[in-house]
Amino acid sequence: MRRIIRVIGPIARATLLEAARSRMIWLVAILCLLCLGLAGFIQQVAIIEAPQIQATVLAAILRAAAAFLTAAFVTMSVVREYNDKVFELMLAQPWPRGVYLAGKFVGFSTAAVALAVIVSLPLLPFVPLDRLGAWTLSLGCELIIVAAMSLFCVITLAHIVPALATVLGFYVLARSIAAMQVIAAGSETSGTWAERAADWVIRGIALVLPRLDLMTRSDWLVAAMPAPAVLAGVVAQAVIYAALLMAAAQFDLHRQNF
């Protein structure tokens, strides 16, 4: 067990170093500066409740950008290792393939949490610290799910474009599935078999997707803070879905021939 931990640690550190040395840091810095500029523009045009409008708009932009950057970094990092034959070299070492996967996930998850903290900094002037802390915690959990999904997709598909497209589709669907359920339930009154079938399909999809629509909500910044039970549910979702996605990625990794 100690030997496995000693292997996971260097892999995770190498992944974090790659994140620190990549251009993603510059992209995050530019994003934060643009958000601060947008906040100044909103302050000039908003008639009432400018801080609330600033916080809501910036939170939505920062959340979406953080999810995209996380997915892009994970997919490009693993594909780069594919192309440079680093992936095959690591799998040829005398340790289980799951150890390499665990090391990469720990590194990607740590980078995702750090990204969540960084992108929350532009919200500091507009949001109380306790509300921002809850929002940042939820964003970190959301990005961990995105990182796990990205790692699973890139292990399975082995190419940037299909893997990234799949992750973004998963993210948008998980964010909008609740609205789709409401629309499907509203149209069920007509009673046609096609509409009932669509409602059943949407409900089935909703059962297996994480409830990202309940995570990192902008109203937490301008209204009441989420209850501790809500935050506990967010953390539990991140743990459960990350474990399931890593188990699926490990299964797919073991069935591939290198």
Q: What angle do CA 149, 150, 151 make, to 5 degrees?
A: 90
255 has a pLDDT exceeding 80: no
Half-sphere CA count of 234, side-chain side, radius 13 A: 23
Distance CA 65, CA 174 (A): 16
Across the range 162-188, mean pLDDT stands at 81
Kindly report the number of other CB atoms within 10 A of residue 50's CB atom. 15
Query: What does the pLDDT look like over 2-32, one tens digit per residue?
Result: 655 666 778 888 888 888 887 788 888 888 8
The token duo for 88 is 């095959």
Judged against a pLDDT cut of 90, whether residue 209 lies above it is answered with no
Please classify residue 51 by burial: count the beta carbons closer than 10 Å to its beta carbon, then call 0-12 exposed, 13-18 middle and 19+ buried. Answer: middle
Distance CA 94, CA 16 (A): 23
The least confident of 47-56, 139-148, 179-188, 207-216 is 179-188
The predicted-structure confidence for 33-46, as pLDDT tens digits, reads as follows: 888 888 778 777 76
In three-state secondary structure terms, 191 is coil
Q: Is the pLDDT of residue 51 over 60?
A: yes
Least confident of 12-26, 84-98, 171-185, 234-248: 84-98
